[in-house]
């Protein structure tokens, strides 16, 4: 995930998904401070172990049927995700439209391949190597990447995710004008196309897409990921935080450094869980007044996930979030773009490498870590057969599992 980064509010976006298709090479924009014209680079080459082309999203969805008011929130979630709502839902008749069916077929095939080649392997790896997880997990610089939060930490009961991507509005399909629903669904599928095709969102493009249409922000993408992960959404509300980290209902014009969405959902086990996504500045100049770290502290210690994080915590401007995670995490699972190895006190942390450390991609050459290379060289790391982070090809990715040796070691446990 390579991005345009704003000097006053840098953040990273989500997702490290295995490339699914034989798409033509795409370019990304990278400009670390937003000055001048962004440099253009080519995407990594497609993996050689492709199984066939992944469909592109429907170019334009033309659903023109009427939508009546009412219906369960989970029906809206499933409809946006291309899954059948309940038979009694006012959305059910619209699923007979061929254009919605094309929308559904695109997600069926894309997520089917993603699950086969990526998520099933990540879940199996987590079951073997991550144990005794904490109820809370932190996923900073995540954007709407619930897929990997769930794959690595399925037993968590509270997920706290954060990035700069806008929250948006809670979708109310009954309020979308006739003829506008189709284009809105098309915006959702197109905003996800790069992440389903490569290993990252192109953040600049995604932020533009997430601000357009009636299904805007990260909420529709979270809906798709929740539904496609087998979750049932129970309740959705907009929230914000005061300076002391207290959660409040969102109100028009509310002043807050952290605006978010709170989603109550259940998995196959029926246990109710909570997902928070906050749009907030995680740089040092944004955290003191946002209340975000105080909110997190009330729910920790936690297990933390970091990946495709643009090496932001290698920079002095992100020392607060780095130090918070080191202080309040029972375990940290990350690729090399997360917390630099030098920040881990070996007296406090047990470190276990997995996969291969090949160094950063060429956009980030200054973030090569010789000590991390030495750790992987002498640590005899177990291989990982799925892609994570910028090195998204299988057998080229790296993970580091850090377990706190102190009183918070009831988090994840490495394999003996």
Predicted local confidence at residue 117, as pLDDT: 87
Rounded alpha-carbon distances, angstroms, from residue 145 to 14, 54, 195: 5, 20, 10
Residue 394's CB: how many other CB atoms inside 10 A?
19
CA distance 136 to 159: 6
Predicted local confidence at residue 63, as pLDDT: 42
Q: Please give the average per-residue pLDDT across 68-89, as a whole number.
A: 85
Q: Going by C-beta distance under 8 Å and a sequence separation of 6 or more, which residues neighbour residue 315? A: none
| Structure confidence by residue, pLDDT tens digits, 338-377 | 999 999 999 999 999 999 999 999 999 999 999 999 999 9
Predicted local confidence at residue 175, as pLDDT: 73
Predicted local confidence at residue 254, as pLDDT: 86
Q: How confident is the model at residue 247 (pLDDT cuts 50, 70, 90)?
A: very high
Predicted local confidence at residue 43, as pLDDT: 36
Please state, for a pLDDT cut of 70, what percent of the chain lies above it. 74
Q: How confident is the model at residue 194 (pLDDT cuts 50, 70, 90)?
A: low
Q: How confident is the model at residue 32 (pLDDT cuts 50, 70, 90)?
A: very low
Name the average pLDDT for the chain: 80
Per-residue tokens: 85: 């709502």
Rounded alpha-carbon distances, angstroms, from residue 201 to 64, 126, 191, 371: 30, 23, 8, 29
Q: Please give the average per-residue pLDDT across 91-99, as a whole number.
A: 86
DSSP one-letter string for 321-350: HHHHHHHHEEEEEE-TTSS-GGGS-TTTEE
| Structure confidence by residue, pLDDT tens digits, 123-166 | 999 999 998 899 999 999 998 999 999 999 999 999 999 998 89
Asked which of 93-102, 121-130, 186-195, 377-386 is least confident by mean pLDDT, the reply is 186-195
Q: Going by C-beta distance under 8 Å and a sequence separation of 6 or more, which residues neighbour residue 396? A: 355, 356, 358, 387
Per-residue tokens: 1: 């995930």
Reported as type and span, the H/E element at residue 316 is none
Its pTM stands at: 0.82
8 Å CB contact between 151 and 120 = no
Q: How confident is the model at residue 41 (pLDDT cuts 50, 70, 90)?
A: very low
Is the pLDDT score of 24 beyond 80? Answer: no
Rounded alpha-carbon distances, angstroms, from residue 251 to 43, 62, 241, 248: 41, 33, 11, 9
Task: Check residues 101 and 205 and name the one with the higher pLDDT.
Answer: 101
DSSP one-letter string for 242-260: -TT--EEE--TT---SEEE
Asked which of 71-75, 223-227, 346-350, 394-398 is least confident by mean pLDDT, the reply is 71-75
- Comparing CA positions, the residue from 356, 372, 257 lying closest to residue 311 is 372
Task: Check residues 254 and 233 and name the one with the higher pLDDT.
Answer: 233
Q: Please give the average per-residue pLDDT across 99-122, as a whole number.
A: 90
């Amino acid at each position: 995930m390579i991005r345009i980064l704003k000097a006053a509010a840098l953040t990273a976006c989500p997702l490290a998904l295995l490339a699914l298709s034989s798409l033509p090479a795409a370019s990304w924009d990278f400009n670390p401070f937003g000055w001048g014209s962004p440099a253009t680079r080519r995407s990594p080459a497609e993996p050689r172990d492709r199984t066939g082309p992944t469909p592109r999203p429907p170019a334009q969805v033309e659903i023109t049927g009427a939508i009546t008011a009412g219906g369960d929130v989970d029906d809206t979630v499933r409809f946006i995700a291309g899954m059948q709502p309940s038979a009694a839902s006012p959305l059910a008749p619209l699923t007979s439209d061929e254009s919605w069916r094309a929308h559904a077929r695109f997600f069926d095939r894309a997520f089917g391949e993603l699950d086969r080649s990526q998520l099933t392997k990540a879940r199996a790896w987590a079951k073997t190597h991550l144990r005794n997880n904490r109820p809370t997990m932190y996923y900073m610089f995540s954007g709407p990447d619930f897929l990997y939060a769930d794959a690595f930490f399925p037993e968590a009961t509270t997920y706290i995710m954060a990035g700069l991507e806008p929250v948006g509005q809670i979708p109310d399909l009954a309020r979308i004008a006739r003829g506008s629903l189709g284009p809105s669904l098309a915006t959702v599928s197109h905003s996800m196309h790069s992440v389903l095709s490569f290993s990252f969102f192109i953040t600049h493009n995604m932020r533009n897409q997430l601000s357009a249409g009636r299904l805007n922000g990260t909420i529709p993408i979270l809906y798709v990921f929740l539904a496609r992960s087998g979750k049932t959404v129970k309740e959705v509300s907009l929230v914000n935080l005061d300076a002391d980290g207290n959660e409040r209902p969102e109100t028009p014009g509310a002043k807050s450094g952290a605006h978010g969405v709170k989603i109550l959902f259940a998995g196959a086990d029926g246990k109710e869980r909570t997902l928070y996504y906050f749009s907030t500045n995680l740089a040092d100049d944004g955290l003191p007044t946002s209340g975000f770290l105080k909110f997190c502290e009330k729910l920790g210690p936690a297990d933390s996930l970091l990946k495709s994080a643009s090496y932001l915590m290698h920079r002095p401007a992100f020392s607060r979030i780095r130090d918070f995670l080191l202080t309040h995490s029972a375990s940290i699972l990350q690729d090399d773009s997360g917390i630099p190895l030098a920040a881990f006190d070996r007296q406090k942390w047990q470190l276990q490498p997995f996969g291969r450390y090949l160094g950063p991609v060429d956009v980030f050459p200054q973030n090569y870590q010789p000590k991390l290379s030495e750790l992987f060289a002498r640590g005899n790391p177990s291989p990982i057969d799925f892609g994570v982070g910028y090195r998204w090809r299988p057998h080229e990715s790296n993970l580091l599992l850090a377990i706190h040796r102190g009183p918070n070691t009831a988090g994840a446990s490495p394999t003996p």
